Amino acid sequence: MSDQNNSGYEEICSICRRPESVAGKLVRMPMNMYICPQCMDKMSDMIDAQMGGMNGAGAIDWSKVMNMYNPANFQMDPNMFQQSMSNEETEQEKKEADPAEGEKDLKKTEDPEKKEEGKEESKKPGNGIPKVSFVNLADLPFDFGFGGRQKVKKKEKGEHKPLIELKDIPAPHKIKAMLDEYVVGQEKAKKIMSVAVYNHYKRIATNTMDEIEIEKSNMLMLGPTGCGKTFLVQTLARILNVPLAITDATSLTEAGYIGDDIESVVSKLLAAAGNDVDKAEQGIIYIDEIDKIAKKQNTNSRDVSGESVQQGMLKLLEGADIEVPIGASSKNAMVPTTTVNTRNILFICGGAFPGIEEIIKNRLNKSGGIGFHAELSDKNDQNKKIMQKVETEDIRKFGMIPEFVGRLPMICTLEGLDQEMMVRILKEPKNAILKQYQKLLELDEVKLLFADDALELIAEKAIKKETGARALRSILDEYMVDIMYEIPKDDNIGTVTITRDYLEGKGAPEIVVRGAE
């Protein structure tokens, strides 16, 4: 048992699946089982109820029973099995030597008079131990987990060890510079995220909560679909090398209903940290589609995936000890759980919030009217950057409760993508879509080029689809299928240039043969 304790992982109760840090000191049983005190009491009640009144001896002293099953006290006579085996062999030899002897034994066992005598003898008081049918643990409705048990890494005792040292935390301008390599545009959002993350991990690394307690910088990101909300968070976690969990708010429901429990959000972060609680408690959780849990308007039914989910998430955002299922989306008797403190977990929530533009316009147009100083009521109708003027009041009117919005102090908006940004997304980032195709053809020793007017056409088509940067990949894949199919046929092709005429179906791509370049 000492080897297991030194391994850095703690044992889990074989019945309720809770680790030792939650359930208390576990009792070790035969066959490498561990049972917590609560489950031990329940099993005792079950067995006592089945055995009650059988021997009239009163309550069972379970401490003696458990002591009997303690491997340290469990001793066995090594000659016992040898003696029983020798007796069986002697009886078998007698039967083989004299078959009549075996028939006599059979008649003895089948004699009805002898059977009745045996019954009368067993009824006499004090005649041996009563026949007791002990409970078979395999028949109980529990998973004892004899093999392949999930283990949770123990929390290290002693000083708090930050995931990132203070000297290793990059400054906000360095974080933004690294984000610029992957994300085009969204300058304001990148600046806000860089400052928030820098302050958050500075707070964890110093752990100075003596005089002034620094609160968390949870963020709320608003922007149309495909503008780069999720990609920003993924890039940020990769830069900092911290555990990241990305989850969807649409699957979350109030506890007790079909769907994922709210604690499953933290469970995914624990899995991303390799079941290491210390790492998970300093990670990042990105909750996408947060606008889908807004309060339902004008409904009489119970809102199990709206306002109730927001209320359940308040303790997560604020910071509390949460009992988290390991490797599952909901808590039950078959799933192990552990405790995770969310005080140092950075929560970033993002959503498209469709329709919030109208709420913002209504608020801004309140001053519209007639007169010299009155503003035109339709002044903001054509403003494409209306989302930049969002305020907490607008988010509340959309359906988010005040307590939820108050726990997301930093609000940043992302711009919708125009044609110029679409063209830049195609060719500028480190892992740009065009660079991916160029790398694929480079493996065939072919150089791939794109004309500027061809890129503009792709950007125009992507804007019409209204799905943001996601449309670029689907459009480009459609045009590149024939190119990727035909080029490997001819080893003489050296350079291929995609033109606007080819994309419009008016011509073929420009091909240059090797050696003629």
| CA 424/CA 454 separation, integer angstroms | 13
Q: What pLDDT is recorded for position 41?
A: 79
Name the residue ranges covered by the structural domains of the chain: 1-154, 165-413, 419-513
Residue 404's nearest CA partner among 349, 354, 358, 355 is 349
DSSP 444: T
Give the DSSP H or E segment for 119.
helix 112-123
| Contact by Cβ (8 Å): 441, 450 | no
Give the DSSP H or E segment for 512.
strand 510-513
Looking at per-residue confidence, does 390 or 156 come out higher?
A: 390
Distance of CA 467 to the CA centre of its chain: 27
Average pLDDT over residues 425-447: 90
Share above pLDDT 70 across residues of the chain, in percent, rounded to a whole number: 67
411, two tokens:
């609000």
93-128: pLDDT as tens digits: 555 555 555 554 544 444 555 455 555 554 444 444
Q: Hey, what CATH topology would domain 419-513 get?
A: Helicase, Ruva Protein; domain 3 (1.10.8)
Looking at per-residue confidence, does 482 or 145 come out higher?
A: 482
Distance of CA 442 to the CA centre of its chain: 38
Query: Does residue 63 have a pLDDT over 80?
Result: no
Looking at per-residue confidence, does 201 or 367 come out higher?
A: 201
Residues contacting 2, CB < 8 A, separation 6+: none
Query: Does residue 71 have a pLDDT over 70?
Result: no
**Dihedrals phi, psi of 368, to nearest 5 degrees:** -70, 145
Looking at per-residue confidence, does 198 or 331 come out higher?
A: 198
| CA 326/CA 145 separation, integer angstroms | 14
| CA 38/CA 23 separation, integer angstroms | 8
Beta strands per DSSP E along 187-232 = 219-222
pLDDT-derived band at 131, boundaries 50, 70, 90: very low
147-186: pLDDT as tens digits: 334 555 555 544 456 666 777 788 889 999 989 888 888 8
The average confidence (pLDDT) of the chain is: 75
Q: How many Cβ atoms sit within 10 Å of the Cβ of residue 465?
A: 13
Sheet holding 284-288, edge to edge: 244-248, 284-288, 346-351, 219-222, 410-413
Which of 115-124, 359-368, 414-423 is modeled with the greatest confidence?
414-423
Average pLDDT over residues 186-202: 87
Average pLDDT over residues 353-372: 77
261-307: pLDDT as tens digits: 788 888 888 888 888 888 888 888 999 889 888 887 666 666 666 78
For domain 165-413, the CATH class is alpha beta
| Contact by Cβ (8 Å): 121, 127 | yes
Q: What pLDDT is recorded for position 92?
A: 54
